[in-house]
Structures are given as C-alpha cells and as structure tokens.
Amino acid sequence: MGVNREDIDAVDDLLAAWALDAVDDPERAAVEEVVAADPDRARLARSLQHTVAAMGDVVAEAPPPETRMNVLRAVAARGREQLEPTPALLLFERQVASMTEFLVELADDEWLMPVAPYTWTVHGLIAHLLVVERYMAGLVGLDAPAVGGAVDDHLAMGADQIAAEVAGSFRRTFAAWKVQASETIAAIRARPEALRDQVVFHGWPVSVETLLTARAFEVWTHADDIRRATARPMQTPTPRDLRAMSMFSVATLPLLVPMEHVKGPARIVLTGPGGGTFDLEGPGGERAVTLVADVVDYCRTAARRIDIDELPAVIEGDRDQARALLIAARVLAV
C-alpha cells in the first residue's frame, strides 16, 4: 500500500500492526519516521511495544545449554574495541595546558587559599609542582636546578625551594612552572626515543613514558584540588585521557597488591567513557573477584581523592581482594 508520510492517520492505523511486526519493511520505516518526530506517538508506540514484549513471557522457553556457550564464544571472539589511550607526552602536555588555562583565571587572593589535603596554598602547591618538574627534568637529562631534600619523598622534597617560592611572587612561580614543564615536553618531543628511557623516580624504576602518564595524573588531580579549593567545578578529562590514566593505574596493580590478598584472578570493570575491562592474573583458574566502578571515580580513588569506603563500586566475589586492589591503586598517590 505504501504510506503517505504526511498522512498521520495512516500511521496511527498501522501502529499496532507495526508493534506486532505485521507490516512490511517500507511501512515499518514510514511508521518509525513519523514516530521519531512525534513524542506523543512515540510514547504510544512504546506502550504497544511493551505490550507485545510482555506477551513474550507466555512463550518463554529456555534455549538449549549450548546456546549460552555459543553466545559467549562469539562474544569472546569479537572482543571489545577499546578507545585508544592518549599518548603519554600528549597526555602530560594537555594536563599542563588545562592547568595553565585554569590558573590564569584565578584572582590574586585565590592564590592564597589553602588546598586540601595539603597544608599548602594554591601558590605553595604550584611551587611543589615546580619542584617536581625540576626533578623530572633532571631525570630526563635536562639542565634544571637541583632539587634539595629527600628526593625519595614526593611531598618533602625541595621544601626549602618551595618555601622560597612562596615567599616571592605567585606569578613568578607560575611562570617558572610553565617554563619548566614546557622545556621537558619540548625535549622529549625532540627526542621521542627518550620515552623508552628508564629512570628512577622516587626510587621506582619506570620508563619516561610511564612517568609522563603518572605526572599527567598528578597534574589533573592537583588542578581539581585547586578547583575545589576555589569553589570551581571539577573537570573530567577526555575519555582518551581517562583511558590512558586508568590503564596506567591498573597496570601497576599486580606489582603493588600484596600476594597474600590475591586469592585468584581478578577483573576490574571501569564503566563510562574511557573505561574498559581489565583481567588480572592470579592463582587458580576461577576468577576470585570482579570490581566494577565508574572510571572517573576509580581514578579519583586511586588519587586518594575519594575514600575507598566511599567509592560507589560493585564487588562480586572476594571483598578482601577487592579492597587490597584499591589500596594498591593508591600506593603511588600522595
């Protein structure tokens, strides 16, 4: 028959037949076009579809057991295409840029606001970042001012330099931090093979690539610390940035979780844009625990900005192992 798309009455007449799939393909398309443009008809159409779906309960019949296996095999063969993580250097550069854009908006008095969970003000926290930037610059072979104090202690190192910066102008500290970060970025961009170089950061042997990801994580976290301190909304990184940071965090877990808490293989499912599913090895064949959390929440928990007990997570299986994994995820954060 063919439906005149302008003729709403004809579509109304066909709606029940459409819900029952008792129309041909052109009619189906015509109905769906009208329904898509009309919220009232869309509600009616949904009600009719719910009704037809409810009729399915009458005929429900379990499939043969092999169907389940076939479905799971087919799914395993297809896998899930995951988002490409942002490359480490670009990730670090973007977090530095994001922090920079945000800091230039701050009023002078906001630089003096205290930033939890530290005793520093905004100025002091940027001075800390400047010290860390100098430390990293030295590790990648740049000629940067030496960092004093205990360099294995992330918060304590360079205490004198931080104090000296805080005694001066925040504008100068901010500018010095930007310059130092930019020099590191430029140096690595000029020599990409440096990403594979191994360095020792606070006693941990890591590649420069891994270090950049960890530092990006740190800069994002501190930017949010300052946003919180200055009553600004926190910022969620792009999905690809989140993917890079969460992959980095999960990759460290097998190294950091105490073996006595590992009862078996574990799965971490991070939901939301930039998330993914990660399987961690463990003794035995059967998965001991699955931990499900939003990827942003997981990253903030790993950064110690959400308490483990406050993380909205689903834990299926061994809760002790799940807790140990979350504790391990926080080892690198201070």
Partner 1 sequence: MRDWERAVIARIVAGDDSALAAVFDQYSALVHGIAARLVGRDAAGDVCQEVFVQLWEHPERFDAAKASLRTFLAVLARRRAIDQLRRTGRRATNEDRSGRQALTGVPNLEESAMSMIEAERVRAAVARLPDDQRRAIELAYFEGLTFREVAVATGAHEGTAKSRLRLGLNRLASALGSEGVVEWA
* Residues binding partner 1 (CB under 8 A): 1, 13-17, 19-24, 40, 42-44, 46-64, 66-68, 70-72, 74-76, 78-80, 82, 267, 269-272, 275-277, 290, 292, 314
Q: Which residues of 167-190 are buried (b: 16+ CB within 10 A; e: fewer)?
A: eeebeebbebbbebbebbbeebee
- β-partners of residue 282 are none
Give the Cα separation of 112 and 273 in Å (integer): 35
Nearer to partner 1, 71 or 200 (CB): 71
Give the Cα separation of 228 and 222 in Å (integer): 10
Nearer to partner 1, 89 or 292 (CB): 292
Nearer to partner 1, 21 or 309 (CB): 21
Residue 8 CB, shortest distance to partner 1, in Å, is: 14
Residue 320 CB, shortest distance to partner 1, in Å, is: 20
Residue whose entry in the numeric block shows the structure tokens 């606001």: 113
Give the Cα separation of 155 and 279 in Å (integer): 33
Nearer to partner 1, 78 or 196 (CB): 78
Tokens of 50: 């719910």
Nearer to partner 1, 24 or 101 (CB): 24
Tokens of 320: 């002790």
- β-strand 289-294 against 266-271: which pairing, if any? parallel
Tokens of 197: 């170089």
Residue 70 CB, shortest distance to partner 1, in Å, is: 5
Q: How many helices (H) and strands (E) in the chain?
A: 12, 6
Give the Cα separation of 224 and 172 in Å (integer): 22
Residue type, 291: L
Nearer to partner 1, 166 or 293 (CB): 293
